[in-house]
Amino acid sequence: MGKVICIANQKGGVGKTTTAINLAASLAVAERKTLLIDIDPQGNATSGLGIPREEKSPNIYHALIDQVPIRDLFRNTEIEFLKLIPSNIDLIGAEIELVAFPEREIRLKQALQEIRDEFDYIVIDCPPSLGLITVNSLTAADSVLIALQCEYYPMEGLSQLLKTIDLIKNNLNPPLRIEGILLTMFDRRNNISHQVAEEVRRHFEDLVFNTVIPRNVRLSESPSFGKPIILYDAGSRGAESYLELAREVMAHG
């Protein structure tokens, strides 16, 4: 059975999609069979791996709503061990359409059952919200990785996400656990970054990854070229950080 890791945060712009793309790519270059599922209507993980969001081929929407076999949605990437299930703007309507479905919170979990044993890791990039699509992702996951930007507002929003995770655990997915809290966009020249990192580590202790993702120009450039950082600039600090994160995740078992 592949391990399903959901990358979540209800706040946008915290490095969630960057983490989903680059963690998946780093696991894949370690020759772990990895599937990245883009379940965000913005489709940034899709375009970040070189597939245009405007493309009208079947995507994750069709698995959730039309029950198209999820295996039919696989797209190859430039990395041999990495496959992608894309998303596009069609997914915006899924929140409303899913309301009418029975067992609407477990549609993704049901879809994944047939392919989990084909992968070592399945990484899900959630939308920046706590709606029904994110609930589906958390219900389908074994663990949730929380990307947390090193600024005060994202830290304040963390409590709401943790409450949602507890609700999912109590009502839909009891085995769900926190994979870890990942500090992102860390600027060593900025006192706030150091203060937030210190406060998060003091409060959450072992739940916080040792790896910290720095602010890095090459990392922010890579999506515009449709490449993960490991293919865009393997020697950059951003690439080194995500490789180190992948090692931590693999060490978790």
pLDDT at 18: 96
Nearest of 192, 177, 115, 184 to residue 142 by alpha carbon: 177
φ/ψ bin of 2: left (φ > 0), alpha (ψ from -120 to 50), beta (otherwise): beta
pLDDT at 137 over 80: yes
Report helix angle 16-29 to 237-251, nearest 10.
70
Assign 187 a pLDDT band (cuts: 50, 70, 90): confident
Q: What is the CATH number of the domain that holds 46?
A: 3.40.50.300
Is the separation of the CB atoms in 26 and 250 below 8 Å? no
What does the pLDDT average to over 201-216? 93
pLDDT at 56: 77
- Domain count for the chain, please give it: 1
- Distance CA(114)–CA(78), nearest Å, equals 25
Percent of the chain with pLDDT over 90: 72
Domain that holds residue 72: 3-251
Which residues, in sequence order, are bridge partners of residue 124? 6, 37
pLDDT at 145: 97
Q: What are the pLDDT digits (tens) for 43-102?
A: 999 999 999 877 778 899 999 987 789 999 999 999 999 999 999 888 888 888 988 888
Is the separation of the CB atoms in 195 and 160 below 8 Å? no
pLDDT at 55: 75
Which residues, in sequence order, are bridge partners of residue 8? 146
pLDDT at 219: 94
Q: Which residue has the higher pLDDT, 149 or 153?
A: 149
